[in-house]
Chain A
Amino acid sequence: MKEKNEDLLGELARRNWLILAVLVLGSLAWRSMPVTLGVLSGGLVAIVGYQWLFRSLRRMLAHPSRGAAKSFQFGYFIRLGALGAALFVLIALVRVNPIGLAVGLSVVVINIGWTTIKRSI
């Protein structure tokens, strides 16, 4: 069961890229650079955030100690700051399409929803 669950996270990580590729291809129908850039950048931000969270959680749970918890807390704030800064740059400076950005950011949510539905059938 443990192997199956570990495989589930790997499967989710792989499918994230697949969903992002499908969304980016779909966004090409709008023939708009800000829309495609929004979907692509939003998806990248979501996937990087997901991978970062997964790695830091796994590191903390593999060697549980007070130092590991502090390191996780510090990493968590760094991650939130990096995500916030990336989104600020994308929205305020690069001016990507906000709807496209929201769609791109939904990559992980779509993936989890898809996996849940697939497993419940």
Chain B
Amino acid sequence: MREMVVISGKGGTGKTSLVGAFSALARNKVLCDADVDAADLHLLLQPEIRRRESFQGGGLAVIDVNRCTGCGLCIELCQWNAISDDFVVDPIACEGCGVCVHFCPEDAVDFPRQTCGEWYVSETRFGPMVHAGLGIAEENSGKLVTLVRKEARNLAEARGLDLIITDGPPGIGCPVIASIGGASAVLVVTEPTVSGEHDLERVLQLVKHFRVPAMVLINKSDLNPDMAGVIERKIRELGAVFVGSIPFSKTFTQAVVQGKTVPELDPNDESARKVIEIWEEVHNRLASLPSR
């Protein structure tokens, strides 16, 4: 079993479009959307949801006015300034640490567990898919990422499929860390801009920190050919594998608008041909890595 996680550091480089394209090209796989904050893969794959489960996060403090004597200890102890002078907890600011619950002399703080999202197992025209939606302004996105990846693995095992392709979140923080631990490889999608270069460097350092093999592709490579050259050199310096470039193409946007993947829209389009070539390269490299 192998899992490839597609990440980028910088948002908007084309992760989801590429995962969509790979969905159309790969065989025997499960698709997984781990960008739980802003999941978009379903817009390309139109999954039919077969199983729907709620995702339980931690608790949040709620002060019972009938039991509260207004001593003010909770306000003093709260590190997040989440409790107002009239003892109402702001659910957005509350970290769910439970300190107020523990120390309240009157036992006046309840701590109900929150449902902070949902996850789904679905069927698509390219095979099974696991995805999720985090509630608005919720935390625990790292936990939900871990959960959808685990469910994708269970599904692959149950159906005898040997590949998981995971659409990862942007950045280098909690959700990204949760998305790369234990992966067979990551594929980083970057772009030839100063921001792309800067963010690539940080995300590759993170990947190295977790000792996951990294491949990198440069999307929209002709926007700045000089920068694309600089990035290619940098990829090698940072110990990652450069797997190819895709020139800027309106096909990507057209495909998204039509709810299709790039190879479905026009397999003879220049960028589609490039994507197919890169998938073959990525797939071969993936096959040579140890199974997990």
Q: Does A associate with B in a complex?
A: no
A interface residues with partner B (beta carbon < 8 Å): none
